Amino acid sequence: MFNMLLRRGTAFIVDALLLALIFFGNFSFIMTSLQASGNNPLSLSGLGMMVALQLFYVWIYFVYIPVKMPGQTIGKKLLKIKVVTLDGNDLTPKQYFQRDFVVKFLLSSLTQGVIVLFNGILLTYQCIRKQELRALHDMLVKTKVVHVK
């Protein structure tokens, strides 16, 4: 159990760091482009453009990539884990969207990250109790994370 908790936590950190790099690069590019064109980078259109691109990148990273690399983001692939349904099948694109985009990303954004803390506590509790590790998003969408060889 602890091994899986460590793998999931490390994969989460890898994915978060990769997205942070993408977001920072995107933010810098848009700010520089808008300033160079004489526009106010903090205008409503500039901020809207940034939010739209960030949502697009999150969709690519957490929906498109796991569909192409069944059940895996880059972090999960490095740590040799993947997301499957409770009966062990690959998820549909709709399930990836619900699990990772709606529940994980949007809910985390709306709760200012409190849901991430809650999931950390929940997974640690399950590890201590030697239960199957399933975070809130796994429970809601009926998925689990498994080790792959």
Residue 60 to residue 29: CA distance in whole angstroms: 19
Residue 96 to residue 83: CA distance in whole angstroms: 9
- Domain boundaries defined on the chain: 2-147
- Supply the mean pLDDT for the chain: 90
Residue type, 107: L
pLDDT digits (tens, 9 = 90+) for 3-29: 999 999 999 999 999 999 998 888 888
Going 101 to 105 to 108 to 111, the CA torsion angle's sign is: negative
Residue 85 has pLDDT above 80, yes or no: yes
Q: Are 143 and 94 in contact (CB under 8 A)?
A: no
Residue 82 is inside which H or E element, if any? Answer: strand 81-85
Output the pLDDT for position 46: 74
pTM reported for the whole predicted model: 0.83
Average pLDDT, integer, range 109-129: 89
Supply 77's token pair.
Answer: 């692939």
